[in-house]
Structure 1
């Protein structure tokens, strides 16, 4: 053994350690092979969009062995899997500094005990190919997390968010008394949007200027929509 170690340039202690831990190493490889099979299934069921943190949560919810997210990420790299991550952000919020601002009626409490009481709205940029960029306006119910209304167009005028709110009103039948939380984009601070809110009986609410956390529920929907529904296709570098 000493002669062979000398020829291979290995120390005898390293060889002895490798041989002594062979059984444990084989057992670990067997366990990780099982984890890799579970990862492949969740990844495939997601349309090959989920990244390590989301797959970790899915495996925990599904029961069985709890896997650390760092270990899961290492296994994903080993078997050549990766999720989809949007690569570029497009600015959709252009604040009108002179416009009147609505009060903050919900703070950062993005929950609701009943449907049709609290909504959040935002504009995002769907990563699809075409001659002109598209913009998607959403109205999301904070109780059910349902997309109650939406509108899509190749412009970012106030009509875009007005159409989304009108779609939500058609879905619910009435929005009277509901709170609509948005950012300070010029579309949401426009007079025309304020008028349709008053007409529908909706109370406008806005968080802090320039804080994505104050509209976190809408931002979370936007990220999931791009990553999982569109599967990251057509993303611009």
Structure 2
């Protein structure tokens, strides 16, 4: 712009473009190429890639540049992993789990207010749900479980198990609960994890008319009923032995939830009934 302004016909002191380019140390050829195309095709393509990468990362903050590169390819963009890495570094698009020296990660701002306020009771099914994520090591690496619990009967109405802790884990668990229960006007309470603040998770809540709720940072008591379930799972399954494979642990978790916890473990809070028995009585009473 400076070269063009000094060479303009109306400039107070007109300086030829060749002189200005020589003083600034740039070639005339580069200047005239810039005049013909101020924004090159490469920059234009990078801008489109950046917008797409930001959108992908907003859907799942746990995605690093490799996952973003795979998703860009799925959407029809042509870009190498090195190029995606350069763009992500330039725009500071980092995975939630990336560890950088000198950086301390804190939970982000809540997307929702705390509507539960440590009241983990409900007068009817499908009015108040709790959700959280736990992990456990195996010989193949960590296995992650996201579960959704109904405060009325303490039943696990949906869960998802995977080898990663991306937003899709929480989305899958909530989607399973929705498919099983077909809820309306349910409060879904969680912590401030990035999985629950992700755009994909929030879209799922809004799309099914569910109301989000979030506890405070570092306050485990704000989701104590969910932590209680994970404590039971840890004592009865996770810590009972060393698990060689993820599949072995996955089958053990599913078996314990569906057979022992739901159908055999009686709870004093439910009048010494199991979650399945408690909900069966409610269904029969409401039908009558």
> More helix by proportion, 1 or 2?
2
Tell me which residue corresponds to 2:127.
117
The question of whether the paired residues in 2 share the 8 Å contact of 1:180 and 1:203 is answered with yes
Tell me which residue corresponds to 1:72.
none
Distance in 2 (CA, whole Å) between partners of 1:95 and 1:201 is 29
Give the drift of 1:101.
2.2
- Structure with the greater relative contact order (CA < 8 A, sep ≥ 6): 1 or 2? 1
Consecutive unaligned residues in structure 2, runs of 5 or more: 1-104, 244-288
Distance in 1 (CA, whole Å) between partners of 2:156 and 2:237 is 13
Distance in 1 (CA, whole Å) between partners of 2:136 and 2:174 is 19
**What is the DSSP-based 3-state SS (H/G/I as helix, E as strand, rest coil) of the residue aligned with 1:107?**
coil
Distance in 2 (CA, whole Å) between partners of 1:221 and 1:115 is 18
Distance in 1 (CA, whole Å) between partners of 2:110 and 2:219 is 18
Give the drift of 1:118.
0.3
Give the drift of 1:126.
3.4
Tell me which residue corresponds to 1:157.
166
Tell me which residue corresponds to 1:134.
143
- Provide closer, same or farther for how the CA distance between residues 203 and 118 of structure 1 changes in structure 2, counting only shifts above 3 A: same
Give the drift of 1:231.
5.1
Distance in 2 (CA, whole Å) between partners of 1:134 and 1:229 is 13
Larger radius of gyration: 2
Consecutive unaligned residues in structure 1, runs of 5 or more: 1-93
Distance in 2 (CA, whole Å) between partners of 1:232 and 1:101 is 37
Could you say what the CA RMSD is over the residues aligned between the two structures, in angstroms? Answer: 1.7
Tell me which residue corresponds to 2:226.
218
Runs of 4 or more above 6 Å deviation: none
Distance in 1 (CA, whole Å) between partners of 2:166 and 2:223 is 20
TM-score, normalised by the number of residues in structure 2: 0.46
